[in-house]
Amino acid sequence: MKAFGFLSFGHYGRFPGSQTRDAAAALKQAVELGVGADSIGVNGAYFRVHHFERQAAAPIPVLSAIAARTSRIEVGTGVIDMRYENPLYLAEELGALDLLSDQRIAIGISRGSPETAVRGYEAFGYTGAQDPRGGDIAREKFATFLAAILGAGMVDADPQRAPQGTRLPVQPHAPGLIDRIWWGSGTRETAEWVGKLGLNLMSSTLLTEANGESFAALQKEQIDRFRAAYAEAGHTGAPRVSVSRSVFPIVNAQDAAYFGQSNDDDQIGVIDGFRSTFGKTYAAEPDVLIEQLKQDEAVMAADTLMLTIPNQLGVDYNLHVLDSFAKHVAPQLGWESNAEGPVTGEPIVAATAR
């Protein structure tokens, strides 16, 4: 681990103790949290995307607002549900965001997590999926999106305005944008697919697999298989890898009151019809957390750790959590603050070049 950021699910609602009573509060607090995290040295501000729920959605305005008020922190998603997206419009939006932010983006995309709505993407106009979970249309649209951000011609030009046979690419084009695209993977097999594509890996907050191994061990195998597939496909570079965890350093009485009893074991459950493994929550004094996280093989194998935060506890408390992690835990895990420059992944040499 060399970097950490926060991952917000952007919950809001009129619940007891909630400081995000409505969508306006959640959105404005998201921006303030991103700005505050940048000043602490946090490397990334990432937001989950859910539709038809009282949670974060439409991430581009939030990411743009944070990027406009900061200079170092990376802004991104974990993840955008591709089933709901127009691939060419998404390419335009991300091209503009990448240029405005001076390439400080990390955009996680995937098929999407289990949702409240039944085939909600069909209400957005995306029909025809044969897979009941919409995985087929997600991957088909993702392929179109990748072609678009690479600058491929996507539509025929009017022959009265351009030479016959001209194909027009999506604009604006952001050079190198593909290097800042991640796929959110919930299985080891999907991780291999991501490696073959040469993209970055964003390991899911849960894995739709359960074989008796710990969550960390499953994730570490996922990371290893990703990197092996990346090399075998002939890619060279330093792809990024992230994992997410709930981590709360207990440094005062308020922390103890909120999370003193939160340390637990991995959980097994059924999500979207799959037997799945969920990671545990880490909550302890800093010296204990350091040792626990050093033993988490996936955390130590990834370059970026995303801390899932309780956004409804408000900006001040969440900045306290991030600051406590930055001061008391992260330096012992290999952390480099955002003042030291952009985060890089682990260099990989293509198998064919060895």
Phi, psi dihedral angles at 254 (to 5 degrees) = -65, -45
Q: Is pLDDT at 211 greater than 80 in this prediction?
A: no
- State how far the alpha carbon of 334 is from the alpha carbons of 88, 329, 342, in Å: 39, 10, 15
- Calculate mean pLDDT across residues 294-309: 96
Task: Count the residues in the chain.
Answer: 354
Find out whether 220 and 298 touch, Cβ atoms under 8 Å: yes
**What is the per-residue pLDDT across 268-280, written as a single tens digit (0 to 9) for each?**
443 444 444 456 7
Q: Which residues contact 30 (CB under 8 A, 6 or more apart)?
A: 8, 10, 47, 56, 62, 66, 311
What does the block give as tokens for 224? Answer: 């290893």
Give the DSSP letter of residue 117: S
Question: Angle CA(102)–CA(105)–CA(109) in degrees, nearest 5?
Answer: 150
- Give the β-pairing of 241-249 and 304-308: parallel
pLDDT, greater one: 199 or 278: 199
Give me the pLDDT at residue 271, please: 42
Q: Which residue has the higher pLDDT, 5 or 352?
A: 5
* Pick from 4, 278, 250, 271: nearest CA to 112: 271
Q: Which of 60-74, 114-128, 266-280 has the lowest mean pLDDT?
A: 266-280
Query: What homologous superfamily is domain 3-333 in, according to CATH?
Result: Luciferase-like domain (3.20.20.30)
HEC states along 253-273? HHHHHHHCCCCCCCEEEEECC
DSSP tally for the chain: helices H, then strands E: 10, 14
pLDDT range class, residue 352, cuts 50, 70, 90: low
CB neighbourhood size of 273 (10 A)? 10
Instruction: Give the mean pLDDT of the chain.
Output: 92
What pLDDT is recorded for position 280?
Answer: 76
- Token match 């940048």: residue? 38
Beta-carbon contacts of 157 under 8 Å, excluding residues fewer than 6 positions away, are 163, 166, 167, 168
149: pLDDT strictly greater than 90: yes
Average pLDDT for 317-332:
98
Lowest mean pLDDT segment, chosen from 87-96, 182-191, 273-282: 273-282
pLDDT exceeds 50 at position 6 = yes
Q: What is the DSSP letter of 149?
A: H
Per-residue pLDDT reduced to its tens digit, 280-300: 789 999 999 999 999 999 999
> CB of 30 within 8 A of CB of 46?
no
Tell whether the model's pLDDT for residue 24 goes beyond 50.
Answer: yes
Amino acid at 259: F
Is residue 196 scored above 80 in pLDDT?
A: yes
Q: What is the DSSP string of 53-104?
A: SSS---HHHHHHHHHHT-SS-EEEEEEEEGGG--HHHHHHHHHHHHHHTTS-
**pLDDT tens, 41-59?**
999 999 999 999 999 999 9
Comparing CA positions, the residue from 186, 147, 146, 193 lying closest to residue 167 is: 147
Alpha-carbon separation of residue 311 from 34, 124, 186, 352 (angstroms): 12, 28, 24, 46
pLDDT of residue 263: 60
Greater pLDDT, 331 or 185: 331
Residue range 261-269: mean pLDDT, rounded? 59
The conformation of residue 162, written as its DSSP 8-state character, comes to S
Tell whether the torsion through CA atoms of 7, 10, 16 and 19 is positive or negative.
positive
Burial (CB < 10 A; 0-12, 13-18, 19+), residue 121, is buried
**Residue 351, class by beta-carbon neighbours within 10 Å (0-12 exposed, 13-18 middle, 19+ buried)?**
middle
DSSP state of 182: E
- pLDDT above 60 for 110: yes
Contact yes or no for 100/68 (Cβ under 8 A): yes
**pLDDT value at residue 312:** 95
How is 268-332 classified by DSSP, letter by letter?
EEEETTEEEEEPPEEEE-HHHHHHHHHT-HHHHHSSEEEEE--GGG-HHHHHHHHHHHHHHTGGG
Q: Determine the pLDDT at residue 208.
A: 59
